[in-house]
Amino acid sequence: MHIERHEIEKLATLARIAINEDTISDVTARLSSVLDLVDQLQAIDTDGVAPMSHPMQSTQRLREDEVTELNQREALQAVAPDIEEGLFLVPKVIE
């Protein structure tokens, strides 16, 4: 797909991007090549291909959930200004 110079200028205006005269032909060529690649991808027959979220059908290995530190809640809350039922109380910040 070929993209015209005036289309690049219009896109630059809409995107609020300044493209100077020296680079507009390069930008036009690059965008045209990207659109050509998209056309090639759209021409591929994908009937019968199941959609997938990742090209590698692997699963993430998870570690066992183990407690590695001691419960220090009482020691940490001893210096807190306000606590209720084991929770820190903080001032309201959203109206």
Write down the pLDDT at residue 54: 76
Amino acid at 61: R
Distance of alpha carbon 94 from alpha carbon 82, whole angstroms: 19
Distance of alpha carbon 40 from alpha carbon 1, whole angstroms: 10
Spell out the domains of the chain, with CATH numbers in brackets.
5-43 (1.10.20)
Write down the pLDDT at residue 71: 92
User: Which has the minimum average pLDDT: 24-28, 45-49, 59-63, 89-93?
Assistant: 59-63
For residue 9, the SS3 value is helix
Whether residue 11 contacts residue 27, with contact meaning beta carbons closer than 8 Å, is answered with: no
Q: How confident is the model at residue 25 (pLDDT cuts 50, 70, 90)?
A: confident
Q: How confident is the model at residue 2 (pLDDT cuts 50, 70, 90)?
A: confident
pTM of the predicted model as reported, rounded to 2 decimal places: 0.48
CA distance readout (Å), 51 to 31, 42, 46, 72: 28, 15, 10, 47
